[in-house]
Structure formats: C-alpha cells, structure tokens
Amino acid sequence: MRSRIVLLHATPVAMTPIHTAFNEVWPEAETVNLLDDGLSLDRAREAELSPALTERFVRLGRYAYDMQAQGILITCSAFGPAIDKLAAALPIPVLKPNEAMFHQALAQGKNIGMLATFGPAVETMTEEFNDYVKQHHSSARLTTVLVDKAIDLLKQGDAESHNRLVAERAQDLAGCDVIMLAHFSTSRAAASVRQQVSVPVLTAPHAAVQQMKARIAGKE
C-alpha cells in the first residue's frame, strides 16, 4: 500500500516545487494536496501569528489527518508555532518545510545565508533556525536577504522575473558558506542563483521529501 502524504499548502506557488521533489525523490508516495491560500493572505496582514490563525491552521491539519494521512508536510514557512502545535496534537509525522534544509546547511558551514521572498516568514524562520542551532550546539549564524516584489511576480505567473530578482540578490550573500532558498516557491530560482555564486545553494523541497521518506520508513 502506498504511503499517503498530505501536502498542506498556504499558497499555490509552493505546489509545483514539492510535486517535482516527490517525483524525483519518492514517486511511490501518494500525495494529496490541501490548499487554503487565504492562510498566506491573512498571515501577511498580521505582524505576528495570531492565536485565531494558529487555530485555523491546526484545524486544517486535523482535517488532513482525517484523510488517513500517514504524514503531513507543510509547504509554507510562515506558520512555525502553528506547525509545532499541530505536530504535538497528532500521532503521525508533521514536518516543517525547512528543518531538513537547516540540517544540510549546518553540515556545510557556520556562516549561513538565506534568500527570502515572503516577509512574514522571515521572523518565524529565523526563530526556527536559531532554535535548531541551539539544539545542535552550533555557533552558526544566519544572514537573510529579503527580495522585494519577487513573490508578487511569481503569483502573477512571471516565474522568469521572480528567478531573476532572486538571483540578482545572491551576490549579497556570496561570502557565506552556503545559501538557503527560504521557501518552497523560491526553489524554482535555484539554477539562476547558482549561476551567480560559487557557494552551495540549498532548496527546501527535496530535503523535506527525503526527511519524510526516512520518517515513514522508520515507522514501517
């Protein structure tokens, strides 16, 4: 029987990158999409993640569990505390989008750069990164560059301009040991970014799928 993994999306622009990663890393999995793009719209209006939006997110995750999910993979990086609450409530793996990428980054150096396009996600991702560093007794530090307007262009269907804007800012992080592309949606700019810098460039989707596959295999 195929493992059913529910992909919980807060924006449609995250969907293609994670589908590509599953096709390349774990095509045997049965993936089911659960999208509430109002989550990202409402999150962008909040300075901090509110209790009401957290509860809404958790309800969506519980619905995913009701769909007989064996694992839930979140594809939006702006809901860290809500993901923690959901993970504590369910008996199946609930994975944050970036933890696996953080692990890969720390394995390659301590001066970590990150290119982000969705401002509300930066604070929660920075907190998650710092918590991860502390848990692993590392002295790694994070430098983040926010690429304005890129995600708006992507939502309008202009992936080429999105990729160009992200790549143009890569030089700001060329002195880092490694560069992370913050969001699943940003991963489509990986090839363009790698043309601009010589340091490793990491994307979240493939790392996340590898982590979920390992977690599910460990339960079987």
Which tens digits make up the pLDDT trace of 80-100?
999 999 999 999 999 999 989
- What pLDDT is attached to residue 220? 47
Write the Ramachandran bin of 157: left for phi over 0, alpha for psi from -120 to 50, otherwise beta. left
Nearest-angstrom CA–CA distance, 37 and 209? 22
Average pLDDT of adjacent 10-residue blocks, the chain of 220 residues: 95 94 96 97 94 97 97 94 96 94 95 95 92 94 96 95 97 97 94 97 95 85
Q: Is residue 182 domain-shared with residue 104, that is, in the same domain? A: yes
CATH of the domain at 162: 3.40.50.1860
User: Looking up tokens 């530090």, which residue turns up?
Assistant: 141
- pTM assigned to the model: 0.84
Q: Is residue 138 domain-shared with residue 104, that is, in the same domain? A: yes
Give Cα separations from 59 to 36, 79, 152 (angstroms): 11, 13, 28
Give Cα separations from 186 to 22, 90, 146, 196 (angstroms): 17, 29, 11, 15
- What pLDDT is attached to residue 218? 80
- What pLDDT is attached to residue 219? 61
The domain containing residue 183 runs over which residues?
A: 99-203
The number of distinct structural domains making up the chain is: 2
Q: Is residue 189 domain-shared with residue 153, that is, in the same domain? A: yes
Q: Is residue 15 domain-shared with residue 73, that is, in the same domain? A: yes
DSSP-based three-state secondary structure for 21 = helix
180, 105 in Cβ contact below 8 A?
yes
Q: What are phi and psi of 114, to 5 degrees?
A: -140, 130
